[in-house]
Amino acid sequence: MSDASLTALTVEVVRKWDEAHGICGFELRRPDRAPLPGFSAGAHIDVHLPGGLVRQYSLCGSPARNDCYEIAVLRDEHGRGGSMAIHDRVQQGDLLRIGVPRNLFTLDAQAGRHLLLAGGIGVTPILSMAEQLACAGAPFEMHYCTRSREKTAFVERLARAAFRDHVQFHFDDAGAGQSLDIAAVLAAAPAQTHLYVCGPRGFMEAVLAEARMQGWAEHRLHYEFFAGAPADPGAETAFQVRIASSGASIVVPPGCSVVEALARAGVEVLTSCEQGVCGTCMTRVLEGHPDHRDTYLTDEEKLAGEYFLPCCSRSRSPVLVLDL
């Protein structure tokens, strides 16, 4: 299991293209053109970027293809640097180290029908889901909301797709008549429908809040946040973490993550997304009560408090004892 060749591979960027305003697409293949590990719709890969950053990107190609992976990335000048690194420093012909696909956002095979809602660049896993459902002949409906047509990735691909009649675009600048009526779409869905939503946090929270208000059961709601809840350093307080193996106590001040505080004290915790999304940094808590800020653990796991994600989560108790 620890053999890195089982979990990581080298791929070549065989194509890089402008997919829409501010959005680049990347097609990745093995340098020897051998088949890639298979994936299911909703999967993502870790991409090791120039400068040492590691970021997760959803695969947006068809899961039926094993010759290439496709990802699409929105350049975010105000982000943490990953999107600018891939836009500016990764070119066609480059070799990249990537992780094998992992899926935390799967289609439910038991669902009678699927409702896919995408906001902006959140379309990437949703597009792959539409491909997989269309391939399987499963009933689905897709709604895709963006600011404008120029900022919409995959317009042409969706217009040409065999499943184009299942897709509705909603452009913000096209007038109120075109905007997505979340409440109406959810209310019109038959009882066995499962909902899948990906996009900006506000969009996802609005969709999920409406679904819950309409009585959709939790097992019918599927979603993937790009990042954990935004931190508010002003509202944070200091606490201590104690390392069980050494007994060392380390103060975590406001505005500093547990991972950062540990690193300053010479204790390394493996991280990847640094946003509470991927689960790489998951650490066992032996004493104390974590203040969970991630989107990786389930509500039950958060309640149990046995594990937490130190890249983003904090503590509700003055001390957290960690199994490190």
Q: Counting contacts by CB under 6 A, is residue 311 touching ligand FES? A: yes
**Which residues share a beta bridge with 251?**
240
What number of chain residues touch ligand FES (CB under 6 A)? 14
**Interacting span for ligand FES (CB under 6 A) from 57-65, 165-173, 212-220, 265-273:** 265-273
Closest to ligand FES by CB, 12 vs 274, is 274
Q: Counting contacts by CB under 6 A, is residue 274 touching ligand FES? A: yes
Q: Counting contacts by CB under 6 A, is residue 58 touching ligand FES? A: no
**Interacting span for ligand FES (CB under 6 A) from 84-92, 158-166, 249-257, 269-277:** 269-277
Closest to ligand FES by CB, 111 vs 261, is 261
Q: In this chain, which of 117, 127, 309, 322 binds ligand FES, going by CB under 6 A?
A: 309
Q: Counting contacts by CB under 6 A, is residue 276 touching ligand FES? A: yes
- Which structure tokens are listed for 122? 């959140």
Q: Counting contacts by CB under 6 A, is residue 296 touching ligand FES? A: yes
- Which structure tokens are listed for 262? 């540990």
The distance of closest approach from Cβ of residue 69 to ligand FES in the complex, given in angstroms and rounded to an integer, is 20
The distance of closest approach from Cβ of residue 98 to ligand FES in the complex, given in angstroms and rounded to an integer, is 16
Q: Counting contacts by CB under 6 A, is residue 211 touching ligand FES? A: no
Closest to ligand FES by CB, 140 vs 296, is 296
Q: Counting contacts by CB under 6 A, is residue 70 touching ligand FES? A: no
Closest to ligand FES by CB, 14 vs 53, is 53
Q: Counting contacts by CB under 6 A, is residue 272 touching ligand FES? A: yes
Q: Counting contacts by CB under 6 A, is residue 82 touching ligand FES? A: no
The footprint of ligand FES (CB under 6 A) covers 271-274, 276-281, 294, 296, 309, 311
